[in-house]
Amino acid sequence: MTAQTTATALTGQSIIAGRSVAGTGRTVTGFDPSTDEALEPGYSLIDESQLAEATGAAAEAYPSFSQLAPETHAAFLEQVAANIDALGEELTARAMAETGLPEARLVGERGRTVNQLRLFAAVVRQGDFRGARLDTPDPQRSPLPKPDVRQRRIPLGPVAVFGASNFPLAFSTAGGDTASALAAGCPVVFKAHNAHPGTSELVGRAITDAVAAFDLHPGVFSLIYGPGASIGQALASDPVIQAVGFTGSRAAGVSLMKAAAAREVPIPVYAEMSSINPVFLFDGALSGGPESVQSLASAYLTSVTGSSGQLCTSPGLVFVPTGEAGDAFVAAVGEAAAGHSGQTMLTRSIAESWNAGVEQLGAQAGVALVGRGSTGEGANAPAPVVFSATTAQFLDNPVLHEEIFGAASLVVRYDGVEDLLAAAGRLEGQLTATLHVTDGDHETARPLVPVLEQKAGRILANGWPTGVEVGHAMVHGGPFPATSDSRTTSVGTLAIERFLRPVAYQNLPEELLPAPVQAANPWNLNRRVDGQVQLTG
């Protein structure tokens, strides 16, 4: 099949099981955050009865979609990727207008979006995520015969996914949560983020076209626009929905968690919420001389200010040793900060929240200004800023632990490894933790690693946490409040397993067994038989 390349006319309507549906509620528009000007068309918001149409269609789609043969399933995901790729400049231009993000960032994000779909397609073909296990029977075993037991993982059912404000492509309509749910075999009801409705519609139609091209049940995917709080709560509470994927604020994520837990039949919420991503600089990393220190400071500011700091892995906290080398780094940070100008933030409300957070942090006792950049052109482009404090102040003041979503960071000065261990022990759950070390720092840093394992989902060395590789080994998760379930990841192929559950089949006749555990292995899967992995090719 080939992707569609004709320009897509935006309708301002939801897509419910393949149909354009006008909402009964008020109308909202996207806004260009660099000017605060409204963008056409207006999008009408649906009500709860219309939401029920989407979830009902997803329930109807589940039986057939959850049992797709691997090749058809994988080809469908690849078609979604091809359709999104074919949108090209049209998609980039709309996303730029709605988010203020630069062209290069959005082109890269589109590439990440389609590449993860293709990666998941390869996983679907390979099939290990299905978890096929067979324990062969032994009717002669004494004192009791050993039964024939076979196990596989099945899709949970329809999944609700909420679009993220800061990634209009990679964590939105066809982003990681949607892609992994579809790869698992779960229909998706997607709640568009009202800050980038046009971008969401373009991608939503690309998915809908792929559903139609493969003659799948149209309820496999629906895209809805609705008032965030009420329709979001209704979606998480709908008895058809079996899991939720969410990326956003802690308040909204916790609200969804409460709604899902209060249901007659509770369901999991996989929410990525809040992280300040601590970075720990050791003496050796600062011993390379002035140019090395300046380079390190510049790289830090680049990570803090990239995409106006609106990245879930932005380093909001850096621990720096006291002494001359640490002083030189802090001075270099101040100089580097002065050279950065503000970038347009995603929305006016996000910029206002950033300003409030910066004002609160700067007003705390003992917190000092390290450096501030300049305000950017246009609206909603505040100057990036870095503050400093001592470890004692960090330990005593919970305000210094709070995330500021945007280009702001706090340098904390420490006196030794005991300071670091105390501070790390007080951290909330994080997506990442970073060590800057040389060979001579390994013994000093070693006690910190097991502490960080309990605090973060990804530990990295001699780099910066922004930039998340999409692959098989990646973990983009962490203990609460980084995520609602520290056992999972929202990035990488392991993300598929969030939307599956194991089922065992004991002594079922061969004719009644699903394909992954049939003796003939018609899907040609790698399987574990009596504890031993059997590879097919």
Q: pLDDT tens across 408-455, in order? A: 999 999 999 999 999 999 999 999 999 999 999 999 999 999 999 999
Mean pLDDT across the stretch 199-209? Answer: 98
Residue 7 in this model has a pLDDT that exceeds 90: no
Please give the order of strands across the beta sheet that includes 500-506: 500-506, 149-155, 133-135, 527-529, 532-534
Rounded-to-integer distance, Cα 67 and Cα 125, Å: 13
Residues 6+ apart with CB under 8 A from 190: 160, 161, 162, 163, 173, 178, 200, 204, 221, 222, 223, 224
Catalytic positions are: 272, 312
Q: Which fold has domain 14-273+488-498?
A: Aldehyde Dehydrogenase; Chain A, domain 1 (3.40.605)
The enclosing H or E element of 431 equals: strand 430-436
Residue 277 in this model has a pLDDT that exceeds 60: yes
Which of 467, 493, 405 minimizes the C-alpha distance to 120?
493
Report pLDDT digits (tens) over 131-168.
999 999 999 999 999 999 999 999 999 999 999 999 99
- Alpha helices in 287-416, H assignment, sequence order: 290-305, 324-338, 348-362, 391-396
| Reported pTM | 0.95
Q: Please count the CA atoms within 13 angstroms of the CA of 240 that sit on its side-chain side.
A: 22
Residue 380 in this model has a pLDDT that exceeds 90: yes
Do 279 and 318 contact (CB within 8 A), yes or no? Answer: yes
State the pLDDT confidence band at 229, using cuts at 50, 70 and 90: confident
Rounded-to-integer distance, Cα 24 and Cα 516, Å: 44
Report pLDDT digits (tens) over 16-70.
999 999 999 999 999 999 999 999 999 999 999 999 999 999 999 999 999 999 9
Which of 451, 370, 470, 495 minimizes the C-alpha distance to 109?
470
Residue at 42: amino acid letter: G
Rounded-to-integer distance, Cα 339 and Cα 318, Å: 19
State the pLDDT confidence band at 5, using cuts at 50, 70 and 90: very low
- What's residue 473's pLDDT? 96
Q: Of 104-108, 333-337, 351-355, 377-381, give the lowest mean pLDDT range.
A: 377-381
Enumerate the CATH 3.40.309.10 domain ranges in the chain, comma separated.
Answer: 278-461
Enumerate the CATH 3.40.605.10 domain ranges in the chain, comma separated.
Answer: 14-273+488-498
Q: What is the CATH number of domain 278-461?
A: 3.40.309.10
The enclosing H or E element of 319 equals: strand 317-321
Do 210 and 76 contact (CB within 8 A), yes or no? Answer: yes
